Structure 1
Amino acid sequence: MDINIHNTFLPHTDPDASLAFYRDTLGFEVRNDVGYGGMRWITVGAADGTGPSVVLYPPTADPGITEDEGRTVAEMMAKGTFASIILATKDLDATFAQLQNGDTEVVQEPMDQPYGVRDCAFRDPAGNMVRIQETS
């Protein structure tokens, strides 16, 4: 079987703020930007055009979500417990320093984890946890 990851989804609460974070702060390229019915889906990915894409989506776009569920999703997003993503870089300290200079909410400075990775963590504008691991 030949299967790979094509897209993954992260919710957003403000498409312009999310676009600025993923494009301008993290340096991803915009692969698609679609509006429909007052909502907006933005697809971003590595600037070199390789790898999977992240689709930033309005979490209440699913017509099957009830009003109560929508409130729960909003509460979880605000706490950073609804969605997360793990990114990778070869130079974690330099990446952290660059991100820390911007308007980014730092959750954890670079550190060696007991499970064998060195990483740091931020929140994106929607509250999603963004962890960045150092790779060789």
Structure 2
Amino acid sequence: MDVLSSRVLLHPRDPELTTAFYRDTLGLAVYRQFPGGTVFFLGGGFLEVVGTGKAGATPDMALWLQVRDLPATLAELREKGVEPERGPQREPWGLDEAWIRDPDGTRIVLVEIPADHPLRVDVRGD
């Protein structure tokens, strides 16, 4: 299989509310819009809010969004009325994480990778 692109598809109960949350509250840039949906840039991938869902969020799925500065991101979100479900903490695997939820309750894990974490090590060698 040769994957050329990828997206996460969300089918929210209230498409307008959820689109506004990702566009206006989180500030994600719009990649494209079409009748019935909006695709957002999501780092190395895309998030597509499309159609209307019935079930809402599932605890088995979360969005993992790496940010440059977790405290600054949380302060910005608080100014927009978003309180974290779980505040920032260092996880056993060494990442700093905080959790928020979208209007349907989908968990969004905001992650900052500390400067000394192995994910930041240059693996190209000397």
Q: TM-score, normalised by structure 2?
A: 0.76
Contact 1:15–1:42 (8 Å) recurs in 2: no
Residue 43 (structure 1) aligns with: 39
RMSD (Å) for aligned C-alpha atoms? 2.3
Q: Deviations 1:19-52 (Å, cap 9, x if unpaired)?
A: 22111121111222233xxxx2221115xxx621
Q: CA separation in 2, counterparts of 1:82 and 1:17?
A: 22
Q: Secondary structure at the match of 1:106?
A: coil
| Segment of structure 1 superposing worse, 108-117 or 50-59 | 50-59
- Could you tell me which of 77, 87, 93 is aligned with 1:99? 77
Deviation at 1:98, TM superposition (A): 0.8
1:110 aligns with 2:103: no
Q: Secondary structure at the match of 2:84?
A: strand
* Count of residues in correspondence between the two structures: 114
**2:40 is aligned with what amino acid?**
V
Residue 11 (structure 1) aligns with: 11
What runs of 5+ residues in structure 1 fail to find an aligned partner?
61-69
Residue 47 (structure 2) aligns with: 54
Q: TM-score, normalised by structure 1?
A: 0.71
Percent identical residues: 27
1:32 aligns with 2:15: no
What runs of 5+ residues in structure 2 fail to find an aligned partner?
116-126
Q: CA separation in 2, counterparts of 1:82 and 1:32?
A: 28
Moved over 6 A (4+): none
Contact 2:74–2:84 (8 Å) recurs in 1: no
